[in-house]
Structure 1
Amino acid sequence: MPAKFPDSIELPPTADMHVHLRDGSMMRICTPYIRSGGADTAYIMPNLVPPITTVEAALAYKSRLHAIEPKVTFLMTLYLHPSLTPEIIASAARAGIAGVKAYPAGVTTNSSAGVVDWKAFYPVFGAMEQHNLVLNLHGEVPTPKPSEQAARETPVNILTAESLFLPTLHQIHTAFPRLRIVLEHCTTAAALDAVAGCGSCVAATITAHHLWITTDDVVGDVDNFCKPVAKSEHDRRALLKAAVGQYDPRLEGRIMFGSDSAPHAIDKKHVAPGQKSAAGCFTQPYTTQLVIGAVEQALADGLLEGVSEDKLIPALRAFLSENARRFYGLEGSTDTYKIILERKPGVGMMKAISKSEESDEVVSVFRGGMQTWSLRWAGMGEEIG
């Protein structure tokens, strides 16, 4: 029989494998909301200003985060940068750094110092393979100059940038077949197919917001604008099916949740005429709730006919927690705490979140004001609303 959502769902804590927390006052605004979204583990992106390119900087950043939220496990990354060497990779492995995030130059927020020539980093990739660090890929190609666009068979634009990157994924995987690679924030069926065609060392993350929106929802609504931009309804349905383990059996255990929650001050999203809105959807306070809501709505809309009731909750456990912990080799049990989600009338999403003690910054929240599931923590005598 088709799956039907219960009114209450019990899950292990979410492992959010793609998180932007920024630094300074924005960091102090956003970090406390990790557990509000049901996560006890956060994989932290290094695209600060300046980017995190040294082991010392990564560990110092981790200390700042841990001082704000000591109950969260922060997994730190380095920014793929020309200054990285195989020796730094070895040092990072000894220090417990989890991975290296690669941004093609200029594709998204704070990526100007990103990759221009992938082969130039092959010695670094070899060291990562040797020391078992994960390569996290922002899978888009940069937009070339107008003079270069004319010569291309397929022009690069905001809708084609992800698909045009996929051959690069295969090239790196072919050159380093034991290197663990994660193609981040997949937005298309083609991206899922590309990961499925790779070996078991290659995985993918899917965000909460891409389970909700398409290109039509982005046009005219800057709060839905992110990179990679949301794509077609066909692609959204592929992401939903992958999140519940129904897209391609080759992807079993390799599809993980990564919110790509990306906060921006509201005046960077709602900009003056002639300016460009910042790319990013801030979902941190409701990451797990948004996933549950998107799957629930997809079932109601008849988009997931093949999902049976007895397989639904195990599939969500795998997507939100188990697959990531297994792929990243995270030790420790998730049995100490659990999260309980409940459908309660009148529970709504905050329209904006502010502020740190020293700043008047306000952050737009994805789907602000919309109804969502409630979430509370339980275990070891602790009950947190």
Structure 2
Amino acid sequence: MNKFLTIRRPDDWHLHLRDDEMLNAVTPHSADFGRAIIMPNLVPPVVTGGQARDYRARIRAALPEGAALKPLMTLYLTETTDPADVVAAHAEGLIAAVKLYPAGATTNSASGVTDFDKVRPVLEAMAEAGVPLCVHGEVTDPAVDIFDREAVFIERVLDPVRRATPGLRVVMEHITTADGIAYVRENAADAAMGGTITTHHLVINRNAILAGGIRPHYYCLPVAKRETHRLALREAAMSGQGPFFLGTDSAPHPDRAKLQPCGCAGCFTAPNTMSILAQVFEEDGKLETLEAFASLNGPAFYRLPPNEDRVTLRRQDEPIRYPETITAGEETVTVFDPGFDLHWQMEPA
């Protein structure tokens, strides 16, 4: 049995750091990643290059001394987004992508898009300038079952937007279905499509949320689906294929907000993501493809070099104990529990 695995430093291509006390509490838990795409759904959202610059400064201030993490900023796409501001912010290296939230799809998405004709000039400018579009892939039509919203999004929104905007490079974030995996594979030629897969969606299916009692700390959006979909995600993540890469979607919420009659969606996986990934890749006999998923495929899509430095994952005989919660001011945030022992831990090479 392998006792250690050395890989290029991993990146996180979908991360929520929030702001204020929560930002200061959760940011150190992602500090050992090389880069992270930072989500812009604050209140108010990050919609201009100037706001992205200010948010990046707050993130850097929250990082511990010597941290490896380089925050890659995104802008929140609205129906009033200025194409020139997007292109200029990307050309400056200030932002790495623009994020599309259909209005009402998830946490702090009220400012998202309802009329895609209104954002067509932005998308066309992005296609010309090579700015990737990261999409939260769910429709919000109340007539569509929540377990079908990703598949319907592909048909109603994603495919029409891509056909109407030749050259637009798209990341379908936090894929949860076999439909999403198939669509990315079919459209990945020339790096036109990529797809992120979260840590928690490799572990849980919808039974984890609902069977035997409601488990709010497993509730996320997009919601976990049937076991057949989870297995499709694991196969894609472990395939080593270029269009699939790690985006944790680590999404901290105060326990006070999670444990409500109408609780928040999100799993806080930042503290133990690499331990969980090594465990599930080992379980499926695919440790050799972990580097492609966590360290190589994402940079290739974003046209960035892989990190030069290495980290080592070491396997310990005794289970590694992560804290059940962390503290953010007067709040607690529950760390994702995969439901099995973890024996792998990332440390500097």
Is this contact kept in 2: 1:18–1:258, CA < 8 A? yes
- Measure how far apart 1:224 and its partner are: 0.3
% identical equivalent positions: 36
C-alpha distance in 1, partners of 2:188/2:203?
A: 29
2:309 to 336, 356, 372: 336
Q: Trace 1:224-235 onto structure 2 (pairs within 5 A).
A: 224-235=218-229
TM-score (norm 1): 0.84
**Shift of residue 291, structure 1, vs aligned partner:** 1.5
1:218-256 alpha-carbon deviations (Å, 9 max, x no partner): 11110100000000111011000001117xxxxx31101
Residue of structure 2 equivalent to 1:10 = 6
Q: Which structure: larger Rg? A: 1
Q: What does residue 98 of structure 2 align with?
A: 100
Q: CA separation in 1, counterparts of 2:188 and 2:337?
A: 36
Q: Determine if the alignment matches structure 1 residue 32 to structure 2 residue 28.
A: yes
1:55: how far off? 0.3
* 1:249 paired residue number: none
Say which is worse superposed, 115-124 or 14-23, in terms of deviation: 115-124
Shift of 1:119: 2.4
Residue of 36, 42, 53 corresponding to 1:42: 36
The residue aligned with 2:200 is 209
**Structure 1: gaps spanning 5 or more residues:** 150-155, 247-251, 300-308, 380-385
2:176 paired residue number: 187
Cα shift readout 1:162-195 (whole Å, capped 9, x = no counterpart): 1110122111221223211000000010111111
Q: For structure 1, which segment, 368-377 or 84-93, has the greater mean C-alpha deviation from structure 2 after superposition?
A: 368-377
Q: What is the letter of the counterpart of residue 71 of structure 1?
A: A
Work out which of the residue numbers 52, 71, 75 in structure 2 matches 1:74: 71
Compute the TM-score of the two structures, normalised by the length of structure 2.
0.92
Query: Which ranges of structure 2 fall in alignment gaps of 5 or more residues?
Result: none
In the other structure, the counterpart of 2:326 is 353
Q: Any conservation in 1 of the 2:9–2:309 contact (CA below 8 Å)?
A: no
Q: Deviations over 1:316-360 (max 9, x none)?
A: 1111110001111124x52333232323403122210113xxx21
| Residue equivalent to 2:256 | 267
Give the superposition deviation at 1:374: 4.1
Whole-angstrom distance in 2 between the partners of 1:177 and 1:288: 36
Report how many aligned residue pairs link the two structures.
Answer: 339
Alpha-carbon distance between aligned partners in 1 of 2:34 and 2:188, rounded to the nearest angstrom: 29
User: Bigger CA drift: 121-130 or 312-321?
Assistant: 312-321
* 1:116-195 map, 5 Å: 116-144=114-142, 149=143, 156-167=144-155, 168-195=157-184
Name the SS for the 1:108 alignment partner: coil
Quick one: distance in 2 between partners of 1:221 and 1:169? 31
1:51 Cα deviation (Å)? 0.3
Aligned match of 2:217 = 223
User: Is 2:226 the counterpart of 1:253?
Assistant: no
The separation in 2 between residues aligned to 1:207 and 1:237, in whole angstroms, is 13
Deviations 1:39-73 (A, max 9, x none): 22111000000000010110111111112225311
1:74 to partner: Cα distance? 0.7
Indicate if the aligned counterparts of 1:266 and 1:361 stay in contact, CA closer than 8 A: yes
Alpha-carbon distance, 1:88 to partner: 1.3
Instruction: Judge conservation of contact 2:135–2:170 (CA < 8 Å) in 1.
Output: yes
Cα drift, residue 368 of structure 1: 7.1
Task: Return closer, same or farther for 1:32/1:71 CA change in 2, 3 Å cut-off.
Answer: same
Q: Cα distance, 1:314 vs. partner?
A: 3.8
User: 2:347 aligned with 1:377, yes or no?
Assistant: yes
Query: Per the alignment, do residues 12 and 373 of structure 1 end up closer, same or farther by CA in structure 2, a change over 3 Å counting?
Result: farther
Alpha-carbon distance between aligned partners in 2 of 1:71 and 1:334, rounded to the nearest angstrom: 10
Stretch of structure 1 that moved more, 171-180 or 200-209: 171-180
Task: For residue 331 of structure 2, give the secondary structure of its aligned residue in structure 1.
Answer: coil
Question: Deviations along 1:179-216, whole A, 9 cap, x unmatched?
Answer: 11000000010111111221421110000000000011
Aligned residues of 1:53 and 1:83 also touching (Cα < 8 A): no
CA offset at residue 370 of structure 1?
5.2
Q: Is the 8 A contact 2:4 2:312 kept in 1?
A: no
CA–CA separation in structure 2 for the residues paired with 1:257 and 1:239: 11
Contact 2:37 2:72 in 1 (8 A): yes
Q: Is the 8 A contact 1:89 1:131 kept in 2?
A: no
3-state secondary structure, aligned to 2:11: strand
| 2:13 aligned counterpart, secondary structure | strand
